[in-house]
Amino acid sequence: MDEYSRFVDWDKMDVTAQSQDTKELTCTDFHELKQLARQGYWAKNHSLRAKVYHKLISNIPCRTVTPDANVYRDIVMKIIGKRNSSSLPLPEFVDNSLIPTYCLNAEGVGAIRKIILCIANQFPDISFCPALPSVIALLLHYSKDEAECFEQVCRILACNDPSKRLIDQTFLAFESSCMTFGDLVNKYCQAAHKLMVAVSEDVLEVYSDWQRWLFGELPMAYIARVFDVFLVEGYKVLYRVALALLKFFHKVRAGQPMESDSIQQDIRAFVRDIAKSVSPERLLEKAFAIRLFSRKEIQLLQMANEKALQQKGITVKQKSCLLMFQQNVHLAVHAENFKSEIVSVKEMRDIWSWIPERFALCQPLLLFTTLEHGCSLSRFYSHSEGHEPTLLLIKTTAKEVCGAYLSTDWSERRRGGNKLSFFGTGECFVFRLQPELERYEWVIIKHPELASTGSETENHAQPASSTLSSSSIPSDRLSPFLAARHFNLPSKTASMFMAGSSECIIVGGGDGQALYLDADLNHGRTSHCNTFNNQPLCSESFQISVLEVWGFRD
């Protein structure tokens, strides 16, 4: 066996990882390295993988003073002494975390705790890091000794490149990553998300398990392949693989009864036994087939979620904070405080499951209703302005119910003066509740001639094919799914989902769906492209029975 076998129990190790054929890695080009990692170039050679890990981790930009192997040798006896490491309590930042042993022998299993305790000594600023035991256990398979493993983990923790996020080390970072994952599931795994909403009272609690799926439940052969790519491409890979796991779970378990009383436990069991249904290659293939947001966009979404948590005072893992957090997120639509003439509490909770996680922290607040404020577009604007985001609900005289989640303040319409002004972001969407529940992804309104003169607003009634189209985002700028002004970005990053003037409102929906409302708020029209064979939002022309606008209250 090679020099990196000290902590490995080869009876447990995948036989394909024991190849000793002479392979070297000489490339330094990022794109070539990325392809090799995805293809598993070093996955079948234990010694080569160890050398690649050492090379990749050595190249991580770190703090000037980062603990190394010599530090470990100096402190381990002072911290551990002659005591059995298994009897020592773990630091709070990994307390209750799953500690996988993978294919480690007894010496390797004992080394995990020793390294965790030494890291706690050297990194007092770490407050929450549930992935750490798994990372240590994995790297022990490819380390000559404990000190080398300690040094590699320290370099990962001490990375100071702001563009290269690696491991969450605070509760705020971890919880916002869970919210971000929930947002991504909502957008990219809608069928799975629908299942989660149906079988779980606490959807975010299910999604808060996402790192455990990777750093705890995944078998060794799988997490090692994920880690190969993670060291090259960074944090985004983790989101990709977790989304792929959820997609496979839904595909394999769809229509089957739950195996336990908890969807959380079912997903964990599925991930543990994933070898029964999905190979590592197929898992990665699925992960990289997802057309995910760019790294920059995910960072912006993470920042927005962190800000929302900070505003709620949720920055540390304390029972009181967690209780408040769970109540805010999962009981936001309180039955005793909620009253709508259009939707029930259950239907509002269904809508709440679609909105971005950072706003799911808030409670619904009725801003405008035609039953109380009358059918006036000017009053609609006056009651809606100053609130961002808002929720538009419409009930027609034919008992159809539809609506839209609108991410941007309606006051933005004034930027165009008297012209029809376009604004909004890609987080907007339209939906239908009756006769059937359906959410439509967003598209950009493309009707620039409407903005040229105010008199041309009469042209709005033309078919959807001329007003709406699915749009890809230019590669040289951010995809406009977040409000540009939230992050001091150029205004050109804003999309065109909403349009408003003194004469009408247009809300562009997904899959060719759009709502057009007249100034008197009595009549409306929809436009629909059959590109995706979706059911229309509601009747092509309809009369409004009730219209409500809801805001989001802390």
Classify 369 as helix, strand or coil: strand
Which of 534, 478, 544 lies closest to 510, judged by CA?
Answer: 534
- Given 158, 184, 202, the domain boundary residue is 158
Token pair in block for residue 204: 């975010």
Can you give the pLDDT at residue 471? 32
Are 98 and 212 contained in the same domain? Answer: no
Are 147 and 183 contained in the same domain? Answer: no
Alpha helices, DSSP H only, in 428-503? 464-467
* Residue 18 maps to a domain: yes
Select from 19, 11, 13 the least CA-distant residue to 47. Answer: 19
| Cα of 390 vs its chain's centroid, Å | 21
When divided into structural domains, the chain yields a total of 3
Is position 437 within any domain? yes
Are 493 and 476 in contact by the 8 Å Cβ rule? The answer is: no
Stated pTM of the model: 0.79
User: What's the Rg (C-alpha) of the chain?
Assistant: 26
Same domain, 147 and 238: no
Last residue of a domain, one of 293, 312, 331: 312
Q: What is the pLDDT of residue 454?
A: 34
**The two three-digit tokens of residue 161, written as one number:** 């490149």
510 and 407 in a common domain: yes
Strands (E), 104-202: none
Shared-domain flag, residues 272 and 300: yes
Distance (Å, whole) CA 133 – CA 114: 11
Do 385 and 523 lie in a common domain?
yes
Q: How many CA atoms lie within 13 A of 162 on its CB side?
A: 3
What would the two tokens of residue 227 be?
């880690």
pLDDT at 177: 94
Same domain, 193 and 48: no
Angle, alpha carbons 453-456-460 (nearest 5°)? 130
Residue 327 domain-assigned?
no
The identity of residue 180, as a single letter, is T
Domain residues for the domain of 440 are 340-446+491-553
Neighbour tally for 468: CB within 10 Å? 25
374's tokens: 């009358």
pLDDT in tens, the chain (554 residues): 578 999 999 999 876 655 555 567 777 788 899 999 999 989 989 999 999 999 999 999 998 899 999 999 999 999 988 787 777 888 999 867 788 999 999 999 999 999 999 999 999 999 999 999 999 999 999 999 999 999 999 999 999 988 788 999 999 999 999 999 999 998 889 889 988 888 887 788 899 999 999 999 999 999 999 999 999 999 999 999 999 999 999 998 777 777 677 899 999 999 999 999 999 999 999 999 998 878 888 888 888 888 888 887 776 765 444 444 444 444 456 666 789 999 988 888 888 888 888 888 788 999 999 999 999 999 999 999 999 999 999 999 999 999 999 988 999 888 777 677 778 877 888 888 887 788 876 544 433 333 333 333 333 333 333 333 323 322 232 333 444 343 333 344 345 678 888 888 888 754 456 788 888 888 888 875 443 345 667 778 899 999 999 998 87
Residues 180, 244 within the same domain: yes
Specify if 287 maps to a domain: yes
What's the rounded Cα separation, in Å, for the pair 356 and 64? 38
Tokens of 310: 């900070």
Q: Specify if 332 maps to a domain.
A: no
With respect to residue 468, please indicate whether it lies within any of the assigned structural domains. no
In this structure, the answer to whether residues 153 and 63 fall within a common structural domain is yes
SS3 track for 92-105? HHHCCCCCCCCCEC
* Residue 485, in any domain of the structure: no
Clarify whether residues 259 and 188 are in a common domain. Answer: yes
Enter the DSSP assignment of 8.
B
pLDDT of residue 531: 35
Q: Are 175 and 149 in a shared domain?
A: no
Do 292 and 385 belong together in one domain?
Answer: no
Helix (H) or strand (E) holding 544: strand 541-553
Q: State how far the Cα of 453 lies from the Cα of 49, in Å rounded to an integer.
A: 64
The candidate with the shortest Cα–Cα distance to 299, out of 142, 165, 143, is 165
Tokens of 445: 């309104």
Which uninterrupted H or E stretch holds 445? Answer: strand 444-445
- CATH number of the domain within which 189 lies: 1.10.472.80
Comparing CA positions, the residue from 505, 431, 514 lying closest to residue 469 is 514
Domain membership flag for residue 64: yes
Output the CA torsion 151→157→162→164 (10° steps).
80
CA distances from 296 to 303, 480, 482, 485 (A): 11, 12, 11, 16
